[in-house]
Structure 1
Amino acid sequence: MSSETGSSKDVSEEHLPHKQDPGAVTVADDPFADPGLPAHEPRKQDIDERAAKRSERVVTLLFALSSVATVGFIVSYLLIPIDKIVYIWPFGHVSGLNFALGWTLGLALFCIGAGAVHWARTLMSDEEVPDERHPIAASPEVKAAVLEDWRAGTQESGIGFGRRKMMRNSLLGAMALVPLSGVVLLRDLGPAPGDKLFHTKWEAGKRIVNENTGLPLRPEDITVGSLTQAMPEGMDLHDHDFHSEIAKAAVMLVRLEPADIKDEQSADWGHEGILCFSKICTHIGCPATLYERQTHHALCPCHQSTFDLSDGARVLFGPAGHPLPQLRITTNEDGELVAMGDFAEPPGPSFWERG
């Protein structure tokens, strides 16, 4: 009987809740208890040498492809003509040199990055190492002192976030309105340009004058292979709007052999091989007046945008977004070069309203 009683007692104790140490902290008491690190799981490459060899070959292949792409970049730069235009779907007609340089350099950089990442993920050590950190939470005493200082400060200031609501609300309103000052200052950026960017000082019959001498230009003044900088007649350096207008109206004239002009419309808009283009680069507005007479290329010194003046000032290289606008010219009864109207499109850098 006593044996049965003892057995019954043991069974009942097993089903009773265990007594806990009053000072012990459980997960239920502390929801942010440290769960510890999970057991380390080896990768396939750690236990299978053949898998490790495969990863090694993949990384080697990526690095080798990067080397080949770099060599391709150098070869492309040396062999592809700067004015070579190719058709590549779906991009359309693009510069063959720019396309080759971009793809080879991009592939070289990508393969280096991909190889390094694959190396790190499959072959480098990935053993987790814990590092103990000191607690960053403030002690209860510090928290209590900060709250007490806050209450005392609000009471002494007379605001009291539970009292004097009119003062509190006026403060919040003032702080909300202050940023509007910055918005108003945006007006000083200047008035909207309207259609000013679409019009310049050029008009039908306006004589083309040398930018340095101010004298009208004649066809005989423009020799083959030369570049002459010019502007519309009647512009004076002392005019209040001179700088804003010359920034749109400045042009350059070149004379080519008629057989060297590739674009038919460009030839029709010129006079006896003399072509007139805006000299304002269509990237950010620098003067694109570095001229190479053998290739008929005009170069912008700021960011190396290159234009083919023999082919409608088409962009060959650089960040410029569109060709230099051409000014249609002829001669008047006195044999002087004159404009036949304004530019067909706005000169200078692109802007969002541009068609």
Structure 2
Amino acid sequence: MPVPGNEDAAAHQHTPAVHGDPIADPGLPPHHPRPTDVEEHAERRAEKQVATMFGLSAVFALLFCVAYFALSVGEETDVWLGMGASNLALGVTLGMALLLIGIGAIQWARKLMSDTEIIEMRHPVASSQEDREAALTALGQGAEDSGIGRRPLIRNSLLGAVAMLGLPAIVALRDLGPLPGDALEHTVWKKGMRIVNDVSGAPIKPDEVEIGQLINAEPAVFFATDEEGEPVYEGHELQAAKAKAAVILVRMQPRDITPSAGRENWGVEGILCFSKICTHVGCPISLWEQQSHHLLCPCHQSTFDLGDNGKVIFGPAARSLPQLPMGLDQEGYLVALSDFEEPVGPSYWERGDR
């Protein structure tokens, strides 16, 4: 760094020629010292400015968390100048937190870091060991020039600002949805709920199902409405519930069914009901082999024997296909006798038969 009074000498400094460089002397523009290079009070002022920006960034990160919990989407307080106050507040606070860190870093580099120009020639082959050592030396010199070790105020305020940015990230994870609890273990099926066609919503009677036929079905609750005529389930709740409760009905000769102990009355006249969700990774299944009574998953070829309680006979699935206990209501329609007695969906380390 030039000292005051030696600007003319600095203006005529050139990079010394290095053997093998494609340009012997690329030259450098005249160097002009910055106010922070020669005035101590300007340097201290710039340092305080940078630390203030980092500190304000931390404050905005904290305000993001406050706005997240204080403003709820859909409430009267969530309107400001005709816009959603929650989204506006979250966007402004998080944006300012990131912006202030960026501005502070730029100010740090422009006013306080070393202002010495460096030229490095590019070479088409790997650097020599000497060049590598020189690079490490330059890296260490860069860290020294940045002053991060000598300027604890800037270093600590930057670390605090970056640490506070973790709070918005943690708080925003809440929007991924509620904790699952026991939601992975249950579906909307319950005793007396009718099994309906998944397209028309029509309830099904045994005489409407032919031997060898497969019907994609679901609970009647998805077609139910409340007293005001609004759907009981809609939006993402509907899709999540459907994904877990989807079933298939198949009919075969009763003599071809070998029920497990306790499952003797889970079918009606050779009609059985199984989850449509493969127990490997959750693909929907409907490839039905009428003669062999096998159900094939199209994703990874897991094969289930529906005549033998949905047992896996081939492929990577780790559990039998869950079976839904089924009976008839007073009008002769097929209904569930209960929810599945085992969890539906993909297997994992706590959900394996084998």
For the superposition of Structure 1 and Structure 2, which TM-score range results when normalised by the shorter chain? 0.5 to 0.7
Correspondence for 2:296: 299
Q: How far does the alpha carbon of each residue in 1:271-322 deviate from its partner, in whole angstroms, 9 at most, with x for none?
A: 1111111111112222111000011000111111111000000111122120
Q: Cα deviation per residue 1:253-274 (whole Å; 9 max; x = unaligned)?
A: 1111111112344443111111
CA deviations on 1:144-172 (whole Å, 9 max, x unpaired) are 77766665x33xxxx4633x432333234
Match of 1:239 among 234, 237, 241: 234
1:228 Cα deviation after fit: 1.1
Paired residue for 2:273?
276
Which of the residues 140, 144, 153 maps onto 1:166? Answer: 153
Q: Which residue of 2 aligns with 1:210?
A: 197
For residues 56-104 of structure 1, the C-alpha deviation after alignment (integer angstroms, 9 at most, x for no partner) is xxxxxxxxxxxxxxxxxxxxxxxxxxxxxxxxxxxxxxxxxxxxxxxxx
| Change over 3 Å in CA distance of 1:257–1:267 after alignment to 2 | farther
Distance 2:327 2:319 in 1: 25
In structure 2, what is the equivalent of residue 322 of structure 1?
Answer: 319
Specify every segment of 5 or more residues in structure 2 that has no aligned partner in the other structure, as ranges: 1-125, 224-230
SS at match of 1:167: helix
Matching residue's letter, 2:199: N
SS at match of 1:235: helix
Q: SS of the counterpart of 1:310?
A: helix
Q: Distance in 2 between matches of 1:145 and 1:336?
A: 81
Alpha-carbon distance in 1 for matches of 2:291, 2:167 = 58
Contact 1:288–1:300 (8 Å) recurs in 2: yes
Query: Cα gap change, 1:145/1:189 in structure 2, threshold over 3 Å: closer, same or farther?
Result: closer
Runs (5+) with no aligned partner, structure 1: 1-132
Identical residues among aligned pairs (%): 49
1:198 corresponds to: 185
The one-letter amino acid of 1:192's match is L
**8 Å Cα contact 1:267-1:273 kept in structure 2:** no
How many residues matched? 217
8 Å contact from structure 1 (residues 261, 267) kept in 2: no
* CA shift in 2, pair 1:255/1:146, >3 Å: closer
Which residue in the other structure is 1:257 paired with? 253
Question: 1:190 is matched by which residue type in structure 2?
Answer: G
Q: Is the 8 A contact 2:319 2:351 kept in 1?
A: no
Whichever of the two has the greater Rg, that structure is 1
Change (3 A) 1:142 1:254: closer
Please list, as runs of the form range in 1=range in 2, the aligned pairs for 1:144-183 lying within 5 A after superposition.
151=144, 153-154=145-146, 159=147, 161-162=149-150, 164-178=151-165, 182-183=169-170
Q: How far apart are 1:353 and its partner, in Å? A: 5.8
Change in Cα spacing, 1:160 to 1:195, as seen in structure 2 (3 Å) is closer
- The alpha-carbon distance between structure 1 residues 178 and 165, as it changes in their structure 2 partners (threshold 3 A), is same
Give the secondary structure class of the aligned counterpart of 1:230.
strand
* Alignment check: 8 A CA contact 1:267 1:275 kept: no
Q: Is the 8 A contact 1:305 1:319 kept in 2?
A: yes
The one-letter code sitting in structure 1 at the alignment partner of 2:271 is I
CA distance in 2, matches of 1:335, 1:165: 80
Distance 1:217 1:230 in 2: 9
Letter in 1 for 2:325: R
- The code of the aligned residue for 2:323 comes to Q
CA-CA distance at 1:196 after TM superposition: 1.8
| Aligned-pair Cα RMSD in Å | 3.0
- Structure 1 residues 306 and 169: CA distance shift in structure 2, 3 A: same
Tell me the SS of whatever aligns to 2:292: coil
Are the aligned partners of 2:246 and 2:276 in contact in 1 as well (CA < 8 Å)?
yes
Alpha carbons 1:313, 1:323 under 8 Å: kept:
yes
Q: Which residue is 2:131 aligned to?
A: 138
How do 1:325-336 and structure 2 match up within 5 A?
325-336=322-333
Q: Structure 2: how far apart are the matches of 1:308 and 1:194?
A: 31
Question: SS of the residue aligned with 2:129?
Answer: coil
Displacement of 1:215 after TM fit? 1.3
Scaled by the length of structure 1, the TM-score of the pair is: 0.54
- How many Å apart are 1:190 and its aligned residue? 2.3
